[in-house]
């Protein structure tokens, strides 16, 4: 009697475990299908663009100074969605002290209404003080003047390397935060300093 209940409990536990594995697989499959459908719609939409520009360059001005500039080898504009699909993208943010932060990617989108920018496919960024960033997708939120990524990211700097699951960089404060499985490799500790002469 007890062994029969034990066997039934074991069978029930195995069935629940298999159900959880199957549900996870179905969820991941649906998520991948949604991402593929989104990318396919981007490609399909490219043929329906109202306007196509080659060697496009746009500069955003704020209070008489350059805030950022966006260059692309090709831009396809979709008026109904207020967005431009970009190819071979170069995005530069200009700081008030003359320094720059540059981002490069193979593809991107400029959302005309909000002036937000999304970059993907081999994204590389160069930040002040010698930091290099690489990831698969980065977003620029114009209202907050923040660059962020929700995909795994690698950051290399003068004193070492960092990696993590997501990242945010405030262009106004010039501060970054890295979260999610953060790993740090230091080249030298304590950091080297230049002696004053």
Per residue in 40-65, pLDDT (tens digit) is: 455 445 567 888 999 999 999 988 99
Would you call 193 helix, strand, or coil by DSSP? coil
Phi, psi of 58 (to 5 degrees): -130, 135
| Mean of pLDDT values over 119-126 | 93
pLDDT at 69 over 90: yes
Distance from C-alpha of 104 to C-alpha of 88, rounded to nearest angstrom: 8
Look at residue 40 in the predicted model and tell me its pLDDT. 45
Which tokens hold the place of 123?
């994204």
Q: Which residue has the higher pLDDT, 46 or 133?
A: 133
Tell me the whole-structure pTM to 2 decimals: 0.69
Burial class (CB in 10 A: 0-12, 13-18, 19+), 48: exposed
The pLDDT assigned to 174 comes to 85
Question: Would you say how long the chain is, in residues?
Answer: 197
Longest Cα–Cα distance in the chain = 88
């Amino acid at each position: 009697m007890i062994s029969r209940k034990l066997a039934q409990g074991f069978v029930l536990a195995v069935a629940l475990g298999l159900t959880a594995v199957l549900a996870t697989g179905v969820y991941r499959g649906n998520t991948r299908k949604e991402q593929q459908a989104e990318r396919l719609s981007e490609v399909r939409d490219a043929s329906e663009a109202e306007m196509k520009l080659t060697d496009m360059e746009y500069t955003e001005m704020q209070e008489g100074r350059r805030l950022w500039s966006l260059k692309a080898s090709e831009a396809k504009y979709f008026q109904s969605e207020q967005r431009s699909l970009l190819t071979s993208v170069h995005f530069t943010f200009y700081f008030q002290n003359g320094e720059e932060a540059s981002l490069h990617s193979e593809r991107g989108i400029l959302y005309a209404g909000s002036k937000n920018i999304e970059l993907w496919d081999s994204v590389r960024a160069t930040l002040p003080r010698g930091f290099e960033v690489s990831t698969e997708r980065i977003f620029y939120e114009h209202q907050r003047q923040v660059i962020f990524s929700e995909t795994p990211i690698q950051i290399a700097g003068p004193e070492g390397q960092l990696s993590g699951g997501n990242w945010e960089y405030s262009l106004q404060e010039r501060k970054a935060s890295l979260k999610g499985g953060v790993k740090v490799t230091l080249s030298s500790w304590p950091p080297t300093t230049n002696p004053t002469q």
